[in-house]
Amino acid sequence: MQNTGCRKIKGLLFILFVFLGHIIQAQIAEERVIDSGGDEAFHAAANLSDGSYVFVGSSSAPLTNTAKSYLVHLDENLDFSASTFALDYFNPGSERGVDVLVNDLDEILVLTQASNGEIGGYDALLAKYQLVDGVLEQQWRNYIGSEAWDIAKSLFLFQDELYFAGTTYREGHENGNLWVCKVNDDGSLAEEWTFESEERNVLSDACAFENQVYLSFDRGPLGGAGIGIRAFDLNWDPLWNWEQEAEDPIHYEAKNLDFDEINQLGLAYTRFNDPDYSNDNVLLRLDANGVELGRFQVELAGDQEAACFEWALDVGVNCAKTDATFGLGENGIYIERRINEGSWNNAHVFGGVEDDEAYDIIEDAMGRFIVCGWTRSYGDMDKNAYVFRLPNTFIASEYTFENEVIADNTIVASLDEAFQEQFGLYPNPAKEQVHFNPAFLGGTYRISDLSGRSFQEGRLDSTNLSLSQLEDGMYLIQVFRGAEMFTTRLLIAR
């Protein structure tokens, strides 16, 4: 999603990669933390045809003076390849990269929210890049907007034409109304539409499928908003509306749309102030005609707020921000695998002892899921851009899942009975030793703390494992048997 005409920053930008392994429940296949010297966050991701990835977000590294749109290319192994700021970093305005799209020609289109632009207020800043010999080269950039605030949010292709959608506050739309622009091949504005409403309508996401476009949005006052979806045809004539009214004290916030042939249209949103479950993440399914197929609420202790989701065959991979009730820090990344009938069969909280948030999730050509956002748990403990890849086992329907059980405000891994019997780890909590199922003899093990530091590892030549060299505390214990890996938490309390 973004912009053009930028200075190449060579030798000025220090990219720090921290390679972290199996931090929480050993479910992360690959993980990277990216630091340019200040605060960074990735807000969107896209795939290139060679299996590599591009990420867009914002960076406030010292040389930029203020937040700038930030584009990064990682190869198929999530290793750093190239990066650039969307504008000359001495420009006094601030930018926030919000979306990125890669077309069939491997052209990278980036959408940025830009203040103090060429027009005034907030404008959309659209740019096209190509990766040439390992360098992100900008082909063009263009501001689109008015003298008022025009907040761009989402890029999409509709009938092979480039569009973006957002919210405008220009004259006649002071409360905030939906705004859509069609873009020419050179980045200039071809046509735009505004959809007037007397109430506040703020876009959350947009997507297109075949002959329809879908816009999701918050509607009504802040702190008391309902949500809605509007569908349009090829001529931008309205087809249908779906709405969820706020019911004091319950209100809503729309997040992420996706559409595929199997699952139809999906919207992830947050239901705030539920009397029974506080703030909860909800996944809605509609067919192409706006008929509701299902609504699945994550009813867990604590607060979960919708972040993003992605359909994949009969599976929805749903990300949310969760509070300290789950996970280790104030905010963790809750991810669940949910089949289209609504039941979930796998869920984990990812992150470390500080704050971590997800903004986007995509599926690559190999069926793997890439999550991007930001972290304070890893790297230099500032706000750093964060990328990790989920392994295929998280999506596989035969995966033996873990339930998350709360005890004394601490998360404890509770495995289903068949797996618990197979793992055979006891006692837990332990003092001087633990016992394993004899089926693991000949395998290997590793004991690490919750940040991933390894304290003890070796071969399992006995069903009893000594813990005498370890201090009291919570650990992760991993057992490897051939291609299989089993993980749970181990509490040592003497």
- Percent residues over pLDDT 70 in the chain: 74
* Greater pLDDT, 300 or 87: 300
pLDDT at position 345: 54
- Going by the DSSP 8-state scheme, the letter that residue 62 receives in this structure is G
Residue 230 scores a pLDDT above 80: yes
What is the distance between the alpha carbons of residues 195 and 183, in angstroms, rounded to a whole number? 18
Q: Are 245 and 253 in contact (CB under 8 A)?
A: no
E strand intervals along 159-225: 161-168, 177-183, 189-195, 201-209, 212-219
pLDDT at position 234: 92
Mean pLDDT rounded to a whole number for the chain: 77
Q: Are 108 and 128 in contact (CB under 8 A)?
A: yes
Phi/psi at 477 (5° precision): -120, 125
pLDDT at position 256: 92
Please report, as a single letter, which amino acid is at residue 51: G
CATH 2.130.10.10 occupies which residues in the chain? 16-400
Using only C-alpha atoms, the chain has a radius of gyration, in whole angstroms, of 24
What is the distance between the alpha carbons of residues 428 and 426, in angstroms, rounded to a whole number? 5
Three-state DSSP string of 421-457: HHHCCECCCECCEEECCHHHCCCEEEEECCCCCEEEE
How many residues comprise the chain?
Answer: 494
Res. 456 pLDDT band, cuts 50 70 90: very high
| Selection from 119, 101, 111 nearest residue 152 by Cα | 111
Res. 348 pLDDT band, cuts 50 70 90: confident
pLDDT at position 380: 65
pLDDT at position 219: 94
User: Going by CATH, does the domain composed of 16-400 fall within 2.130.10.10?
Assistant: yes
Torsion of CA 182, 185, 190, 191, to 10 degrees: -10
The separation between the first and the last C-alpha atoms of the chain, rounded to the nearest angstrom, is: 54
CATH 2.60.40.3080 occupies which residues in the chain? 416-492
pLDDT at position 24: 34
CA atoms within 13 A on the CB side of 177: 14
pLDDT in tens, 13-38: 223 222 222 223 335 667 777 766 67
Q: What's the CATH code, domain 416-492?
A: 2.60.40.3080
| Selection from 203, 201, 166, 160 nearest residue 181 by Cα | 166
Order across the sheet with 16-17: list the strands: 16-17, 30-35, 384-390, 369-375, 356-363
Q: What is the mean pLDDT of residues 218-233?
A: 91
pLDDT at position 298: 65
Residue 412 scores a pLDDT above 50: no
pLDDT at position 354: 81
Res. 93 pLDDT band, cuts 50 70 90: low
Residue 89 scores a pLDDT above 50: no
The segment with the largest mean pLDDT, out of 64-73, 278-287, 393-402, is 278-287
Residue 416 scores a pLDDT above 70: no
pLDDT in tens, 149-167: 999 999 999 999 999 999 9
Burial of 266 (0-12, 13-18, 19+ CB in 10 A): buried
Res. 11 pLDDT band, cuts 50 70 90: very low
Q: Are 414 and 425 in contact (CB under 8 A)?
A: no
CA distances from 454 to 23, 58, 289, 457 (A): 11, 33, 53, 7
Quick check: helix, strand or coil at residue 119? Answer: coil
Residue 61 scores a pLDDT above 50: yes
Judged by average pLDDT, the poorest of 249-258, 307-316, 349-358, 378-387 is 307-316
Three-state DSSP string of 338-353: EECCCCEEEEEEECCC
pLDDT at position 42: 93
pLDDT at position 9: 27
Phi/psi at 208 (5° precision): -130, 145
pLDDT in tens, 239-255: 999 999 998 889 999 99
- Going by the DSSP 8-state scheme, the letter that residue 63 receives in this structure is G
| Selection from 244, 209, 211 nearest residue 226 by Cα | 244
Q: What is the mean pLDDT of residues 130-151?
A: 90
pLDDT in tens, 361-401: 998 877 778 999 988 887 666 788 889 887 665 654 333 32
Torsion of CA 477, 478, 479, 485, to 10 degrees: 150
| Selection from 100, 2, 84, 95 nearest residue 45 by Cα | 100
What is the distance between the alpha carbons of residues 366 and 354, in angstroms, rounded to a whole number? 31
The segment with the largest mean pLDDT, out of 50-64, 326-340, 394-408, is 50-64
* Greater pLDDT, 119 or 45: 45
Residue 489 scores a pLDDT above 80: no
Residue 115 scores a pLDDT above 90: no
Complete DSSP assignment for 373-426:
EEESSSTTSS-EEEEEEE-GGGT-TT---EEEEEETTEEEEEE-HHHHHHH--B
- Percent residues over pLDDT 90 in the chain: 33
Q: Are 17 and 140 in contact (CB under 8 A)?
A: no
pLDDT at position 161: 95
Residue 406 scores a pLDDT above 70: no
Look at the alpha carbons of 310, 39, 29, 438 in this order and tell me if their dihedral is positive or negative: negative
Q: What is the mean pLDDT of residues 469-476?
A: 82
Res. 423 pLDDT band, cuts 50 70 90: low
pLDDT at position 203: 97
